[in-house]
Each structure stands twice: as C-alpha cells, then as structure tokens.
Amino acid sequence: MDLLTSLKISASGLQAQKKRMEAINSNIANAQVTRTAEGGAYRPKEVVFGSEPARDSFAEILEGEMDEKAQTVHVTEVESSNRPPVLKYEPNHPDADEKGYVAYPDINVMVEMANMISASRSYEANITALNTTKQMAMKDLEIGR
Amino acid sequence: MNVDDTTLRALAASLKFRQMRQEVINSNIANAETPGYKSKSVEFEAALARAVDVDHDGVMTAEDEKHYKLHTGGFSSLEPEIVESSNGVVSDDGNTVDMENEMASMAENKVMYDASVQLLNKKLALMKYAIINEK
C-alpha cells in the first residue's frame, strides 16, 4: 500500500501494451510474407494478457488485504494464430503450389491498425496514471516544509 | 496543545487511504484489457467520517459496560473496504473496467490528496507558530 507499488503497476501496464504493439507491428510488416523459417506463410501473432498480484515477497504479502486486490498486468503468451492462410491465384509466384495458388497470411491491416490505436490509447492512460502517482509522491516531500 | 490530535490523525488516515485508492485505480487502468479482470474500488469516506465524529453525534450509548461501544471515533481499527465495483460495464471477455470512470476518479483522488497535504502543512505550521512564539 504505497505509491511505489502503484508505480510498479503502471509500469507493468506500459510494458504489456508495448509487447502488444510489437506483435501488431510484426503482423503489419509481415502481412504479405509467404515464406518463413518454419515454412509456409507467416502466422499472425496474438498477445494474451493476464493479471497477477502486485506484491511478491513474503513480507509484502503479510501487509494485508491489498495484496490480492492491486494487480499488475503481464503478457502471459504470444500465440501464433491458427487462422488458415488465404489462397490467392498467382501461378507465376515462386511460392505458388502446383495448382497456382499462393498462401498469404490472413491479416487484415485495418483490424491491426485499429488494435494499434487501442494499444496506443491504453499506453497513454498508463502514462497518465504514472505521472499522477509521481506528482503525489513529490507532494509527499512537501509535508512539514 | 495535544500533538496527537484528531486533525493530524484524520489527515494521515486520509493520505494513507488515498494512496491505496491510487494503487487500486492504477491496477484497474493497467488491467483494462485483461480478460476476466474485475474493476475494484476503495471505500473509506464513511468509515473516516465516523472516526472523525468528534461531537459523538453518531454514538450509540451502552447501558451495560459489557456492551460494545460503537462509533466512538477510533482510528486504530479504521480499515478501508476494497470492493469489486462494476459501473454496469461488462465487455465480452468479462472485464468490468470503465476507463473514463477510472481516469475521473484518479483526477479527483489527486486533487483531494494535494488538499490533504496542504491542510497537513497548515496544521503543522500552526503548531510550529505556537511553539516558537511562546514568550
């Protein structure tokens, strides 16, 4: 129950949104990729968020009720989506199969852009929370001056 | 002058609870997109008002000395309540964080925190004045 833990929580939010942004950027950049190290078309990445208690040490957990309540956020998994690739008829493409179809990743760039805006807004909200907490901590230093 | 007076204790309690509230709000904002996360809030105003109740308006009188006295203005047992509070907003993944509401609560919390610090400083200045100007 202190402002430093609050800062930690906001920082975890920033980190999680940044990872989400990385995945989105990767999806946009690789939207047309038909050849990957694993073989086949690029598979879109999806991040999964999970929360966990903000405190981890034993002494901190002894502090009481707050421990269960204030929670940090983490990216628990970056999954490669199992969405089947989209087949396009391009017989002259080097990656075309015997029937002339090329497998492209099923990425809708518009959807990725919308996700990116959402991630950006969440990042900003966490920044605002962080700044507010910082100002409160600075105000503490004025007590008794 | 009593150094351990109600104003100081009430302000200290208020600062402590507002720090808690800030932590819970930060947790809500960070988890605004975590599936299944339930929005939480810290409730302390009513409990603090009872503790500060110096005039004992809300005191229940006890006939027998074995009866518990309620609302007698104790700060020691003062604990905020942390409750799951949804504003009626539930998204498909079970998340109940209302981002606008959280940002508004945070702004309010900050203003009230600053006010408490300012009041605390005034109170301390007053005590200092009383100490220094004794002639």
Closest partner CB to A136 (pick from B31, B110, B120):
B110
Q: Please determine, for residue B102, whether its predicted confidence score (pLDDT) is greater than 90.
A: yes
Say what the pLDDT of residue B57 is.
60
Tell me the chain B residues in contact with residue A134 when contact means C-beta distances shorter than 8 Å: none
Q: How confident is the model at residue B71 (pLDDT cuts 50, 70, 90)?
A: very low
Q: Do A132 and B114 touch (CB under 8 A)?
A: no
Within-domain flag for A109: yes
Q: B18: domain range?
A: 6-132
Nearest to A71 by CA among B96, B39, B81: B39
Question: Which residue does chain B place closest to A15, by CA atoms?
Answer: B30
pLDDT band at B79 (very low <50, low <70, confident <90, very high): confident
Which residue of A1, A10, A126 is in closest CB contact with B19?
A: A1
Reported confidence tier of residue B49, pLDDT bands at 50, 70, 90: confident
Asked if residue B1 is part of any domain, the answer here is: no
Residue B89's pLDDT band, with cuts at 50, 70 and 90, is confident
**How many structural domains does chain A have?**
1
Closest residue in chain A to residue B83, using alpha carbons only = A69
Residue B55 or residue A124, greater confidence? A124
Mean pLDDT of B51-74: 61
- From B23, B30, B79, residue closest to A12, measured CB to CB: B30
Chain A residues within an 8 Å CB radius of B31: 13, 49, 51, 71, 73
Asked if residue A56 is part of any domain, the answer here is: yes
pLDDT of residue B43 exceeding 80: yes
Rounded Cα gap, residues A29 and A109, in angstroms: 10
Considering the domain boundaries, does residue A100 fall inside one?
Answer: yes
Q: What is the pLDDT of residue A61?
A: 58
Considering only CB atoms, A71 lies closest to which of B31, B107, B121, namely: B31
Q: Closest to A142 (Cβ–Cβ): which among B82, B106, B121?
A: B121
Residue located via tokens 């020691």:
B76
Query: What is the number of structural domains in chain B?
Result: 1
Structural domain harbouring A107: 3-140
Q: Considering only CB atoms, which residues of chain B are within 8 Å of chain A? A: 16, 18-20, 22-27, 29-35, 37, 40, 79, 82, 99, 103, 106-107, 110, 113-114, 117, 120-121, 124
Task: Name every chain A residue with its beta carbon within 8 A of the beta carbon of B47.
Answer: none
In a domain, A145, yes or no: no
Q: Which residue has the higher pLDDT, B84 or B107?
A: B107
Domain assignment present for residue B70? The answer is yes
**pLDDT tens string for chain A (145 positions)?**
588 889 999 999 999 999 999 999 999 999 999 989 888 899 999 999 998 887 665 556 556 555 567 888 999 889 888 889 999 999 999 999 999 999 999 999 999 999 999 999 999 999 999 999 999 999 999 998 7
pLDDT of residue B73: 53
Interface test with A, best of B27, B28, B79, B99 (most A CBs within 10 A): B27
**Confidence (pTM):** 0.83
| Res. B82 pLDDT band, cuts 50 70 90 | confident
